Amino acid sequence: MSEEAQKSKKTEENPSENTNVKTAVKLSGGFASKIGMSTVFNDKGEAVPVTVLKFDAWTVTQIKTKEKDGYSAIQLASTPKKAVRSNKASVGHLKKSGFEHSAAQVREMRQELPEGVEIGQRTDMAAFKKGDFVKVTGVSRGRGFSGVVRRWNFAGGPASHGSGFHRKPGSVGNRTWPGRVMAGKRMAGRYGGETVTVKNLEIVDVLLEESVLLIKGAVPGHRNSLVKLMKV
């Protein structure tokens, strides 16, 4: 393989190697992959449960303004796609930001536009500091079809002594009027798989060398899922 072909392949795998990519831009949030949970010790020697988030560098692919789009936002993209998995529309849209083909992850960050932001810039972890508080948004783990005890924490009936309902929901209807089950009644159904936001989570540590954030407490989503972080 020629030197030029090797360089082209390397650029496709990592757009940050593209010479057209500009300096990093500082945003008020970012996207990260959930690695899992662990425990660290603080300065007082106390064990702190943390969620480990892998922060990947994203590329600015579009800048939306109030005058043109009705709101201010920055579109970001990450993880290049292969040519056979890219359509012409996405290739044309992302070409000017440094992607040879398309991107597997394209997200939008609604915020006031930073000064000097340009298409092709990369994001970094400079926005996050130890001790900061963030709100984290992700899709909760899907738990399938669940009953009311698991889904809504109903108490259920006694396990013995003639109980006739145990883990059943009980009566759900009304009288002749209105003669129907009211909307919003808590019943069995699909549990999980919803967009959840957890506020005021503390950043315990920032590991710049590994591009890792340690967030105190639990974060919605399964392992390797994408979560959104915004500074409070």
> How many Cβ atoms are within 10 Å of 55's Cβ, its own excluded?
21
> Any residues with CB less than 8 A from the CB of 227 and at least 6 apart, and which?
31, 32, 33, 34, 53, 136, 137, 138, 219, 220, 221
pLDDT bucket at 161, cuts 50 / 70 / 90: confident
Residue after which a domain boundary falls, among 123, 141, 168: 123
Residues 104 and 140 occupy one common structural domain: no
171, part of any domain: no
22, part of any domain: no
- Give per-residue pLDDT as tens, 109-155: 999 998 889 999 998 888 899 999 999 999 999 999 999 999 999 99
Total domains in the chain come to 2
162, part of any domain: no
Domain that holds residue 137: 27-56+125-152+186-232
Residues 225 and 142 occupy one common structural domain: yes
Residues 72 and 116 occupy one common structural domain: yes
Residues 192 and 213 occupy one common structural domain: yes
Residues 64 and 141 occupy one common structural domain: no
Task: Please give the helix or strand (H or E) that residue 60 lies within, else none.
Answer: strand 59-64
- Give per-residue pLDDT as tens, 64-92: 999 999 999 999 999 999 999 999 999 99
CATH of the domain at 71: 3.30.160.810
Burial class of residue 203, CB neighbours in 10 A (0-12, 13-18, 19+): buried
Residues 88 and 197 occupy one common structural domain: no
179, part of any domain: no
Cα torsion 113, 118, 124, 126: sign: negative
Rounded to whole angstroms, the Cα distance separating 19 from 3 reads 16
In degrees rounded to 5, what are phi and psi of residue 204? -75, -40
- Give per-residue pLDDT as tens, 3-58: 555 555 555 555 544 444 467 888 889 999 999 999 999 989 999 999 999 988 89
